[in-house]
Amino acid sequence: MRNNINPKVTLVGAGPGDPELITWKGILALSKADVVLYDALVDKSLLNHAPKTAIKVYVGKRNKVKGNPQEETNHLCVYHAKKHGHVVRLKGGDPFVFGRGSEEVDYIQSFGVATEVIPGITSSVAVPAAAGIPVTKRGVSESFWVITGSTTAGKLSRDVELAAQSTATVVVLMGMGKLPEIVKLFKMSDRASTPIAIIQSGTTKEEKIVAGNIEDIEEKATLAGVGTPAIIIIGEVVRESPRLMDVYREAVYIDHH
C-alpha cells in the first residue's frame, strides 16, 4: 500500500443504459478514480472517462449467471480502496433504487473507509420517459409505485397485489420472470384491460418495446421475444405514449432500434 493514501469509495449511478445519461458529477468522479468496479448494465464506454492508469474490474451479475457474489464485490471495494485510494463503484441506474448501494455503504464504512454517493438517473422513470410514457400525468395518474419483481426470497413482492388495487402507475423492475404472476394479480383485481408495456434494454440501441393490455401481454411478449433486462409499466399512462398509440388502435406494435 502506498504511503499517504486516502482510501475512499464513491458509488456512482451510471443511469438507465444510454451512456450519455450519466450525470456530470458522475463523470468527474470517474476522472479521479484509481480503480473502477463496474456492473453488467453499465455501458463500457463510460470507462473511457477514467484515467488510463485506473484499474477496471468487472463485478457484474446477470440473472442466475454468477459472476462475483455481492459479498465479494463488497470486499473488493474495501481492498482496492485501502491498496490504491479512490474506488469508483459504477452501478447501473441509481445506487439506492434496488441497487444494493446502501448495503455496500454500510459494509465499506464498517472498515473505516470514507464513502460518497452520486445519484444516477433511475431506469424506473427514465426508461418509460424515453419511450414517451409519463409515469404521472394530470387527470390520468396521480402517483406511481416502483416495485422489485423479485424479493430476497425470490418471490414476487406482495406490494404488487396492493398496487394492482390502486389507480397508480406501477413500474416493476426485474419482473420478467414473474410476469404470469403479475398478470394474474391484475386480473384478480378486474384490470384485464389495463394498458401495459414491457421495455427491454431501454435507452440503448438494443431497446425493444412490446405493449398491449394485461389480457394479451404474455402472448405478445412471447411472440416478440422480449427478455431481460426489462422494465414493466402498467397503467393508463401507457396509452399516452405517441410511440404506442397504434397499439391502442388495435394494431400490433413491436419496436426494434
Q: Tell whether the torsion through CA atoms of 53, 54, 58 and 60 is positive or negative.
A: negative
Say which amino acid occupies 161. Answer: E
Of 66, 88, 65, give the one whose Cα is nearest residue 76.
88
SS3 percent helix, strand, coil of the chain, rounded to 5, is: 35, 25, 40
Distances 158 to 153, 218, 233 between C-alpha atoms, Å = 12, 21, 17
Q: Does the annotation mark 64 as catalytic?
A: no
Of 63, 128, 119, 64, give the one whose Cα is nearest residue 93.
119
Pairing of strands 208-213, 195-200: antiparallel
Q: Does the annotation mark 39 as catalytic?
A: yes
Helix axes 217-224, 179-188, angle to 10 degrees: 160
Q: Does the annotation mark 61 as catalytic?
A: yes
Which of the residues 61, 82, 83, 137 is marked catalytic?
A: 61
Which of the residues 56, 82, 83, 174 is marked catalytic?
A: 174
Residues 5, 85 contacting (CB under 8 angstroms)? yes
* Residue located via cell numbers 425493444: 208
Question: CA–CA separation, 169 vs 211, rounded Å?
Answer: 15
Cα dihedral 43/49/51/56 (nearest 10): -10
Pairing of strands 230-234, 169-173: antiparallel
Q: Give catalytic residue positions.
A: 39, 61, 174
